[in-house]
Amino acid sequence: MRLLRVGLAQINPTVGDLDGNITRIRASIASARALGVDLLAFPEMCVPGYPPEDLLLKPAFIQGCIDRTRDLAGDSKGMTVVVGTLERDGDLYNSAAVLHDGRWVGTARKRYLPNYGVFDENRYFMSERRSVVFARGGTVFGVNVCEDIWLSRRAPRTTWRWCAT
């Protein structure tokens, strides 16, 4: 039986510091690779920093997040990296990019957007209606973004989309 070594990279990103956050992410990937990690997961929105709030009203900031995440794909050679970022597909999404062996292979978009207390995600993001499942070798895994893990057990019928890494 093959083991899958999973690593959790708990970094402290700075809101708006795209280059600094990418530097922290790259350092964590390098450390994880040295430890033999197969799948490394980062926090929600670690590329832009959380919460980016009105920075999300700046198209250049959004594109900067997307471009830096795409550039980060090359750092995933030999492993799978799940990193919190932004995605634009007509609408804007709070997403987790799945990078595998040097490529961006898919994205899990946040489904449940908090809109209470200090959270105002409905103002900025669109909610995803589907869940995505990835396959890495013989292991199938799903990705939840923050609030999704708390509420997905109560979700009505879910449509699944498959992505092979």
Please say whether the beta carbons of 108 and 98 come within 8 A.
yes
CA torsion angle 165 138 7 161 (round to 10): 50
Q: DSSP label at 152?
A: G
Helix spans in 88-158 (H): 147-151
Domains in the chain (CATH in brackets) are 6-164 (3.60.110.10)
What is the C-alpha to C-alpha distance for residues 112 and 1, in angstroms, rounded to an integer? 35
Catalytic residues: 44, 110, 146
Please state whether the peptide bond connecting residue 13 to the residue before it is cis, i.e. omega within 30 degrees of 0: no
Are 164 and 135 in contact, with CB atoms under 8 Å apart?
Answer: yes
Model pTM?
0.88
How far apart CA 160 and CA 165 sit, in angstroms, is 16
With a CB cutoff of 8 Å and minimum separation 6, the contacts of 119 are 51, 113
Return per-residue pLDDT of the chain as tens, 165 residues.
468 899 999 999 999 999 999 999 999 999 999 999 999 999 999 999 999 999 999 999 999 999 999 999 999 999 999 999 999 999 999 999 999 999 999 999 988 788 887 788 889 998 888 888 888 888 888 888 887 777 655 554 444 444 544
Q: What is the model's pLDDT at position 153?
A: 57
**Rounded CA separation 55/114 (Å):** 18
